[in-house]
Structure 1
Amino acid sequence: MATVSVIILARNEEHNIHDCIESVQFADEVLVIDDFSTDDTAKIAEEMGARVVQHAMNGDWGAQQTFGIEQAKSDWILFLDADERISEPLAKEIQAIVVNEPNKAYWIQRRNKFHHNHATHGVLRPDYVLRLMPKEGSYVEGYVHPAIITPYPTEKLQHPMYHYTYDNWHQYFNKFNNYTTLSAEKYRDNGKSCSFIKDIILRPTWAFIKVYFLQGGILDGKMGFILSVNHYFYTMTKYVKFYYLLKSKGKL
């Protein structure tokens, strides 16, 4: 019988890790790659039956995920973030897939949720993420938005998983700041150029128009407007940081 390892990258996720692991009890192994959490993430994960391996991420998501693949003991890999949950129908679909389709990789639809608000368009519209694949020959590249590299043909699964995006605005803007910095550094390392007019003035305006009007953020009311404006500033901020990395190594 084919076996499945769920790989969860975590750092200070004590508020998420229990429910995350609980949603993948069908797996043969739950492997938590812990970036030296200072809270009870590792303790809770071990109490839930997970195997915890501590390993420093150092800002490199792709390398951390590849490390997780190397540590996994099963035939199949299922990547899951600590704030994501596998639905019961998806769990059953995965169990059937790993037995009957050994040489394919799978995209899973991710539906975003808040605990007390609702938004399903614009920046929070459902997307597909490549998360389920045979372990053999698979690895991950990239710092901020890593790409999973796998030699297998891909298909989409029918049932969704759920992503509980943010608990509060403090968490949201911490991630906002972190990701804009990492994106700017990635652009610099890849030798990109930056135009003040094109990238700092025009590009953010188009980003707002796209998510608010073309992708339906306007249908999500107050939250849709807030998230679309934040997407404008996210886009502008990462290019502002990039512009000044090139101009003065980030110094003002």
Structure 2
Amino acid sequence: MHTSSEKISAVIITFNEMGYIQNCIKSVEFADEIIVVDSYSTDGTFEFLQEHPKVKVIQNPFENFTSQKSFALKQAANDWVLFLDADEVVPDALREEIKTTLDNGTDIAAYWFYRKFMFKNDLLRFSGWQTDKNYRLFRKSKAKFSDKKIVHETLDVNGASGIMQEKLIHYCYKDYDDYRAKMLKYGRLKAKEDFYKERTFNYLFMLVKPTWKFFNHYFLRLGILDGRKGMVICHLNALSDLERYRELKKLEKKNELAYYLLMP
């Protein structure tokens, strides 16, 4: 357990994360508390967390990523929060950097983490992810999740930001079906976000955006150098964009139908 005067809450959200959550929890056992909000997993994740002596697990229905993470953040008892996805792992070097940074005192409100992406157990070096970074360590009193996004949620920070030198490890790809389902889910949530913002469906965008996503990540961002792994990742990331526009079209049709049914 972390012994600094600055206590840390590790916070994670889960849904059917067996195979990932065990290593994630193990990597944050240095935190003063571990809070997990589970959206009614059916694969044993909740039962595993219930039995873990260092974890406080709470079940909460999933509406979208922003609302779930905002709910989870409220459960943290400490100001410093280490907020991870269930498929992320804090390696030893990053753990020591976190502890040293807080032990020495800091005026920074939130820290960006760069991530190493893993395709199963192989490192994904390119494919558009090489510059990816996210806020993962921040003061609860200085940050909140933006209500303007419901997927790929962003953190609004009131204060200065810093960057950790060591990288977080992200096990993004378990198998084809799992990653495909994840990308389709992201696409549908992005469509809802677009719909709420009154963005309209466009056939040209449905054609151009996924094509550009694949071309950009596979060729310009060097996914081709990741071999077959890069081809699979770039294809499924582009599929997420395609699903976004398919779903947006469906939402608009449902809305039109409801409008006509309600007309006198």
Q: In the alignment, residue 160 of structure 1 is paired with which amino acid?
A: K
SS at structure 1 position matched to 2:12? strand
Q: In the alignment, residue 229 of structure 1 is paired with which amino acid?
A: H
Q: 1:77 aligns with which of 68, 77, 81?
A: 81
| Residue matched to 2:113 | 108
Q: Distance in 2 between matches of 1:237 and 1:250?
A: 20
Q: In the alignment, residue 98 of structure 1 is paired with which amino acid?
A: L
| Residue matched to 1:222 | 228
Q: Distance in 1 between matches of 2:87 and 2:222?
A: 24
SS at structure 1 position matched to 2:19? coil
Q: 1:69 to 1:248 in 2, by over 3 A?
A: closer
TM-score norm. by structure 1 comes to: 0.91
Q: 1:80 to 1:190 in 2, by over 3 A?
A: same
SS at structure 1 position matched to 2:30? coil
SS at structure 2 position matched to 1:78? strand
Q: In the alignment, residue 153 of structure 1 is paired with which amino acid?
A: A
Q: For 1:106-165, what per-residue CA distance to the aligned partner results, in whole angstroms no more than 9, with x for missing partners?
A: 000111102244422124435110111111142213311111122121011100010111
| Identical aligned residues as a percent | 29
SS at structure 2 position matched to 1:53? strand
Q: Distance in 1 between matches of 2:141 and 2:254?
A: 44
Q: 1:131 to 1:118 in 2, by over 3 A?
A: closer
Q: 1:55 to 1:233 in 2, by over 3 A?
A: closer
| Residue matched to 1:190 | 197
SS at structure 1 position matched to 2:85? coil
State the Cα distance separating 1:247 from its structure 2 match.
Answer: 4.2
Q: 1:3, 1:75 within 8 Å by CA — same for their partners in 2?
A: yes
Q: In the alignment, residue 55 of structure 1 is paired with which amino acid?
A: N
How many pairs are equivalent? 249
| Residue matched to 1:43 | 47
Q: In the alignment, residue 13 of structure 2 is paired with which amino acid?
A: L
Please provide the CA RMSD for this pair: 2.0
Matched, 1:91 2:98: no
Q: Distance in 2 between matches of 1:184 and 1:2?
A: 40
1:74-223 map, 5 Å: 74-99=78-103, 100-141=105-146, 142-197=149-204, 199-223=205-229
SS at structure 2 position matched to 1:21? helix
| Residue matched to 1:246 | 252
Q: 2:243 aligns with which of 237, 245, 249?
A: 237
SS at structure 1 position matched to 2:29? coil
Q: In the alignment, residue 106 of structure 1 is paired with which amino acid?
A: Y
Q: For 1:50-72, what per-residue CA distance to the aligned partner results, in whole angstroms no more than 9, with x for missing partners?
A: 111222222x2112212222111
Q: Distance in 1 between matches of 2:256 and 2:230?
A: 32
Q: Distance in 2 between matches of 1:118 and 1:76?
A: 30
Segments of 5+ residues of structure 1 without an aligned counterpart are none
Q: 1:200 to 1:129 in 2, by over 3 A?
A: same
TM-score norm. by structure 2 comes to: 0.87
Q: 2:21 aligns with which of 17, 37, 45?
A: 17
State the Cα distance separating 1:48 from its structure 2 match.
Answer: 4.5
SS at structure 1 position matched to 2:82? strand
Q: In the alignment, residue 244 of structure 2 is paired with which amino acid?
A: K
Q: 1:123, 1:227 within 8 Å by CA — same for their partners in 2?
A: no
State the Cα distance separating 1:103 from its structure 2 match.
Answer: 4.0
Q: 1:244, 1:250 within 8 Å by CA — same for their partners in 2?
A: no
